[in-house]
Amino acid sequence: MHVILVEPAFPVNQRDFVRTLKHAGAAVSAIGEWPHHALDGQLKEWLTWYEQVPTVCDLGSMVQATRRLQQRGWIDRLEATVEAHMLVAAETRERCGIPGTSVETTIRCRDKPIMKEFLRKAGIPCARSGAASTPAEVKDFIREVGYPIVLKPRDGAGAAGTYRISDDAEFERVMVDSGLADRPHDCAVEEFLSGHEGFYDTIVSRGKVVHEFISHYYPNVLHAMRTRWISPQIASSNRVDAEGYTELRRMGRRVIEALEIGTAATHMEWFITPKGLMFSEIGCRPPGVGAWDLHNAGNDIDLYQEWAHAICGLPPARRPSRRFAAGMIALRPDRDGTIVGYEGKDAMFRDLGDFIMGAHFPPPGSRTQPVEGGYKANAWVQVKHPDYDTLLEMMTRIGRGVQVRAR
C-alpha cells in the first residue's frame, strides 16, 4: 500500500496522519507547500517521496506532482484531510486514476445547496435551502421561507462567513458585511433551525461505519461565535449506545450511504428542533477544533491510527471504551487588545486538575484573537469525567470562574 497525503506539515496534526499510515505498514509520500528541508527530521524519515508545489489548492500543480510520484512507483491512494483540499484532491485522483472519494461525492459534501437538495430527495430531513448570488435572490428566498434565515459560503466550514438574518434591518447590514451588496458571488441560504445542535463523527471503511462518536455544542455554534461573554463548550458523549441516540445514528448511516462515502472520516452537523431531528451538513473529513482529541481521551483510542487502518484496508485496531465523556471550553478575553492576565486559573487547576487533560493560556502580552476566530482562538481547557452531566457542570464552573483580562 502506497499512500500520498496532501500537505503533511500544516496544520500541525497533519503529521499524525503520516505517522499512523507509516505504522500501519504503508509507504507514505506527500505533496505539500513547504520546501523539503523545512520539514522536521522525523517527518522526513516517515516519507518515501515528497513533492513541493506552490499551493495544494491548484489542480494543475497537484496533477503534475502526482504524476511525477506515479512515475517513481505505484500509488494506491491519495488522501486529503483538510476541507479546503478535498475537491482538488478528488479531481487529482480522477485525472490520475487513483481510487478514493469521487468528485461527485466530494461536491455533494462541500456545496451546501447541492448537498441538501440531494439528501432531501433521499428522504433525509433538512432545513429548506437554496443558492443565491445577489441581494435580490436572498430576498426572494426570504419571501418564500420567512425570517430568520442563514447566509453562508457554499463550501465553507464551521461558522466562518455565516450570518443570521432576522429582519429587514439585518438583511441590509448583512448584504454589506458579506460583500453581496458590492458584487455578486455564490452563497448558500437556509431556513434558520431553532433547537439544540451537535455533531456526529465517524470513520467509514468500505461504506460501513466502523467508529462513531456523538458530541454536543453548548450553546449553538452561530450564537457562540458572535457573543463575547459566552464561554462555549463542546462535549463528546460517552453515552453513544443510549437509546436516545438511535435515531441520530441511523440518520448518520443513511447520509453516508446516500452520499456513497466509501473509506474516509466524516463530520456531520445535526439539530434537534421542534420538527424533530434534522440534518445540517456533512464534511468528508475529520472534524476541526481538536474534536478527535476529545474522542481519543474519552475512549482510550487513537483515531489517527483507526483512520490509517481504514485507508489501508485493515480492521480496527481498537474499540472505543466509552470510559469518559470529554469536553472543551473556550475562554474569551473581556475585550480585544492585549492579554494582561488571568483570574481564577490557579484555583481551577487546584480544584479540577485531576480532570484537566489539556489547556492553553496565551502568555500576558499576547494579542487577543477575534471571538469569531473559533473555539481555540484564545484560551481553552479540555476536561474529562466518567459522568457526562458532571463533565458539563465542571465546564460551566470553569467558564464562570476563570476570566481572561485584556486591555
Question: Residue 180: which CATH number?
Answer: 3.30.1490.20
Range of the domain at 184: 128-191
What are the residues whose beta carbons fall under 8 Å from the beta carbon of 94, sequence distance 6 or more? Answer: 102, 103
| Within a domain: 161 | yes
Residue 327 phi, psi dihedral angles, 5° rounding: -150, 165
Question: pLDDT tens for residues 337-389?
Answer: 999 999 999 999 999 999 999 999 999 999 999 988 899 999 999 999 999 99
Residue-wise pLDDT for 127-160, tens only, equals 888 999 999 999 999 999 999 999 988 876 656 6
Q: Is the four-CA dihedral 49, 54, 59, 60 of positive or negative sign?
A: negative
Q: Do 3 and 27 contact (CB within 8 A), yes or no?
A: yes
Q: Are residues 210 and 174 in the same domain?
A: no
Q: Is residue 310 part of a domain?
A: yes
Q: What is the CATH number of the domain that holds 247?
A: 3.30.470.20
The mean predicted confidence, pLDDT, of the chain is 95
Considering the domain architecture, whether residues 369 and 350 belong to the same structural domain is answered as yes
Q: Is residue 122 part of a domain?
A: no
CA 113 to chain centre: 19
Residues 58 and 135 in one domain: no
Give the H or E element holding residue 338: none
Range list of β-strands (E), 246-364: 264-273, 276-283, 325-331, 339-343, 356-360
On whether both 219 and 319 belong to a single domain, the answer is yes
**Quick one: 152 and 94 in the same domain?**
no
DSSP-H helix ranges across 189-232: 221-224
End-to-end CA distance of the chain: 54
What pairing do the DSSP bridges indicate for beta strands 2-6 and 77-79? parallel
**Do 282 and 365 belong to one domain?**
yes
Does 140 reside within a domain?
yes
Give the pLDDT confidence of 308-346 residue by residue, as tens digits: 999 999 999 999 999 999 999 999 999 999 999 999 999
Domain assignment present for residue 136? The answer is yes
Same domain, 357 and 257: yes
